[in-house]
Structure 1
Amino acid sequence: MYPFIFRTFFARMDPERAHHLVIPVIRVLGVWPFAPIARALTRPDPSLRTRALGLQFDSPFGVAAGFDKNAVMTEGLYALGFGHVEVGTVTAIPQEGNPRPRLYRLIEDRGLINRMGFNNAGAGAAAARLRRSGRRSRRTILGANIGKSRVVDVEQATADYVTSTELVAPVADYLVVNVSSPNTPGLRGLQAVETLRPLLEAVRDAAGSTPLLVKIAPDLPDEEIAAIARLAVDTGLAGLVATNTTIAREPLQTPAAAVEAMGAGGLSGAPLRSRAVAVLRIVRDAVPADFCVISAGGVETADDVRERLAAGADLVQGYTGFIYRGPLWARQINRGLARGR
């Protein structure tokens, strides 16, 4: 049913507009009486319970940052069967992001290109929503992904990240430092080890007892990926998220002229799969067994999740697959994983 709906309705619509139309539907699924009904239909099998970051996840499969930027769909996404939701990316200063259009589908490749630019209502607004969700005795595990405010100079990035940390860390189950989006000028330069160390140390100190992770790009050389992984261990982080979107554009089935017309941005979805697996293996080899590694990028099926777990991931995240698989995506993956146990 959903493939037909996608082809005849959503595929003809601007991707960002389609996303905003879906938000209220998912939010409704998170409130009574719909939430218990939806969760009864999607609840992961008990065999999928996973321990990571000192927390118990109902499933190793969760929603990557970018889908719920402002923490408005957390209960609905939990009701749909996801084991965790990573909200954001949020910034200390609210921002509109880049000019539209800024989100494109590559349907032949089952991918997306985005240059959203961290559009969000700010870390303060996200913290307030996370706090309200906590008061409702939520059971889903919520991560918060933080990035640099666009108007803040790179030289002042550490203080900007600390501000966001102080707002969201007390109300999140874990925190992720995003230094790897290609859509904020100068951001990826923060991944250099000599620059990244003081930033991570400052955010770690501000985060207190909240587990802290760092999210890296797939476009770094293998040796730099390993160096960042070792740095994350050395600075006392709880884990690492691999990977963000890529600026690479090959190989793709979508005609090159069409891709070029879409312009700059990060590519996600199926084209990222092989590189994401390779980066996961590099990271896993560079860190201790008890260091949490979350794999993201090109995840669409239960077999994809199973491959990441076998390659050393503790948790797995997806986003683009939601666009092409629809609202029962998490249930499909969880049932596929349970059949393989």
Structure 2
Amino acid sequence: MTKLTTNDSGEFVRSGNRFDDRITAGGASGWPVEPGRYRLVVSLACPWASRAVLVRRLLGLEGAISMGIADPIQDERSWRFTLDPDGRDPVLGIHYLAEAYAAADPSYDGGVSVPAIVDVPSGRLVTNDYPQLTLDLSTEWREHHRPGAPDLYPLEWRDEIDELNELIFMDVNNGVYKAGFASSQEAYERAHDALFARLDWLSERLATRRYLVGDHLTEADVRLFTTLVRFDPVYHGHFKCNRHKLAELPVLWAYARDLYQTPGFAGTVNFDHIKRHYYQVLDQLNPSRIVPAGPDLSGWQEPHHREVLGGTPFGEDGTPPPDVSDLG
């Protein structure tokens, strides 16, 4: 559960990631890449976790890394496995993700977040470092990618991707939270204005290019998409990010639809989980816990016409991911 921590100016302050071990191909980290050993725990409501769900799908890592899905509604112990029989994750055998955190550090008393990768044999949390996690799926797990998988973090584009990722995180991914969780008018307006200034900047960039970097999908597109897909259902109203809806920003709306209609994307999006989580868990913002009926989601399937800008989603020699279903 996101903690609503603000500073003296009323600005939302995001907590750091306490567990940042890495799983590496050579195993120098102490956690070697090993198909079947690890379990990715996610919530389909969470944008940070949805990055990992999407990257895993695009790269075809379903057979190498199993996945557990937490209930979008948390209780006082945070993420729970009440979607599974007997309320237990069928692989880890635990009721709450917090149990894996405790196995890693019995003294830990901080927040429990997703995505999280758990070592199945020991039941210990390995990492909740969501920015690094998806990069490692692209690089350290390369030997286990499906044939035709896109290179989401090409070596020659990494500096540009890293720079964009930082800007998008600061003003958009985390920017919507800074607006929604601000505890002063001034802090809210700063976050709101920075968010829409960055969205305008992104619209200008994407007006003449299909993807954020290069000529195919990269990590930068994944990170922007998981915020955009939640914008109208949640952030516009619930977080007061309401200068415009996404559907009122022509370039970004077409870009988001292009990604949504790309094989692998739509199947990782669960609007029901998204809306119920935000509106029923963050009761500081919505004490009634009423979930809005809208918006109309049918527009996500409307033609986007962005193929005229060139580029191919998976690269010149890439192929779409298979139509697999392990999202419950």
TM bracket, shorter-chain basis: 0.3 to 0.5
Give the structure with the larger strand fraction.
1
Higher relative CO (Cα under 8 Å, sequence separation at least 6) belongs to 2
TM-score, normalising length from structure 2?
Answer: 0.34
TM-score, normalising length from structure 1?
Answer: 0.33
